[in-house]
Amino acid sequence: MKGLSLFLGCLVPNRYPGIELATKLCLAKLDIDLEELKGASCCPAPGVFRSFDKEMWLTLASRNIVLSEQMQRDMLTICNGCFSTLADANRAIKKSEMTKQKTNKILKQIGKEVKGDIEIRHIIEYLYKEIGPEKIALHVETKLKIRVAVHYGCHLIKPTRDRDLGSFERPVFFDQLVTALGATSIEYTDKMACCGAGGGVRSSMREKSLAMTEAKLSYIREADVDCIINSCPFCHMQFDSGQEEINEHMKAQYNIPVLHYTQFLGLALGFPAQMLGIDTTIKKNRRLVEKIAADED
């Protein structure tokens, strides 16, 4: 199995360094060969940037891909948006020699050349396909006997024809990675709906963005879960910080813990919550960690 380079993207190192550390700790414990990708830039974002200038979007994405090619490693992403951009760009380079030549003509100005000889992986897709829920379960030290709302996010599963992860209407792979840790994945209304953050909606239409989030949160709360598990720091921000915004502006009362899968996996592998960037000074997070500890006893 080829080694991996870790593409952090923008949000993780700038807003959620705990997700970064959780990822590195978990993959090391699972004995996965991982090195951080040095010198990477923004992916760039798949929605807005690609819509305005597809050629520049492809060139910037290809520059990141070149860095991983030079390491002779497949690239691992921990963000749905980064995965979408880099996987789609990599596919475009592999599929069309003309596209590759046009992109390399621009990259040549900075001494780079994309070859299209690596793969782009998302951590959820990678863990599911290469390790598998059954093997991950063998590493569990603390069974997480709680009720979980899994949020797949849009870019992890779409476009379906390119993802090779089964149905986008009723996928199961992420749920199986969650249940492998001892948790119960609870079905809820509009499970596959967007969180409301992507495509520039959060930046340009905040009120509409939060309305989308609030609708999904209402269904999650009705399902009586202990936390939300996501696979994308942008979705993570929308559910986590978004709850505070919704509570303030819509006079709602949401208090649901939100974890990236790597943080959830880290708890199951025995790492302390604080090391995983789970802020237990926040009451909802502290209650979740205490519940997990109580169930284990």
pLDDT at 222: 97
pLDDT higher than 80, residue 94: yes
Angstrom distance (rounded) from CA 175 to CA 149 = 9
Correct CATH for 4-123 of 3.40.630.30, 1.20.1050.140, 3.40.50.720, 2.170.130.10 = 1.20.1050.140
pLDDT at 70: 97
pLDDT at 209: 84
pLDDT at 50: 76
Q: Is 106 exposed, middle or buried (0-12, 13-18, 19+ CB in 10 A)?
A: middle
User: Coil, helix or strand for 180?
Assistant: coil
Q: Is 124 exposed, middle or buried (0-12, 13-18, 19+ CB in 10 A)?
A: buried
pLDDT at 155: 85
Angle between helices 54-71 and 97-107 (to 10 degrees): 80
> Which residue bears the tokens 């978990």?
26
Dihedral sign (CA 108, 112, 114, 115): positive
Angstrom distance (rounded) from CA 93 to CA 100 = 5
How many angstroms separate the Cα of 41 from the Cα of each of 64, 66, 81, 127, 222? 7, 12, 14, 25, 40
| Mean pLDDT (the chain, rounded) | 92
Three state DSSP letters for 27-77: HHHCCCCEEECCCCCCCCCCCHHHHHCHHHHHHHHHHHHHHHHHHCCEEEE
215-266 pLDDT tens trace: 999 999 999 999 999 999 999 999 999 999 999 888 889 999 999 999 999 9
Angstrom distance (rounded) from CA 102 to CA 111 = 14
Percentage above 70 pLDDT, the chain: 94
pLDDT at 200: 67
Cβ atoms of 90 and 69 closer than 8 Å = no
pLDDT at 46: 76
At the topology level, CATH places domain 133-296 in Rossmann fold (3.40.50)
User: Coil, helix or strand for 227?
Assistant: strand
**Taking residues 24-28, what's their average pLDDT?**
98
pLDDT at 154: 86
pLDDT at 201: 66
Angstrom distance (rounded) from CA 148 to CA 49 = 33
Angstrom distance (rounded) from CA 230 to CA 202 = 18
**Taking residues 146-156, what's their average pLDDT?**
94
Dihedral sign (CA 7, 13, 19, 24): positive
108-142 pLDDT tens trace: 999 999 999 999 999 999 999 999 999 999 999 99
**Taking residues 199-211, what's their average pLDDT?**
73
Q: For the ranges 14-28, 115-129, 200-214, which has the lowest average pLDDT?
A: 200-214
Quick check: do 4-123 and 133-296 share a fold? Answer: no
pLDDT at 37: 97
Q: For the ranges 41-50, 157-166, 234-243, 271-280, which has the lowest average pLDDT?
A: 157-166
**Taking residues 139-146, what's their average pLDDT?**
97
Domain locations along the chain: 4-123, 133-296
The count of other CB atoms within 10 Å of the CB of residue 156 is 27
37-71 pLDDT tens trace: 999 999 998 777 776 789 999 999 999 999 999 99
Q: What token pair was written down for 237?
A: 């921000």
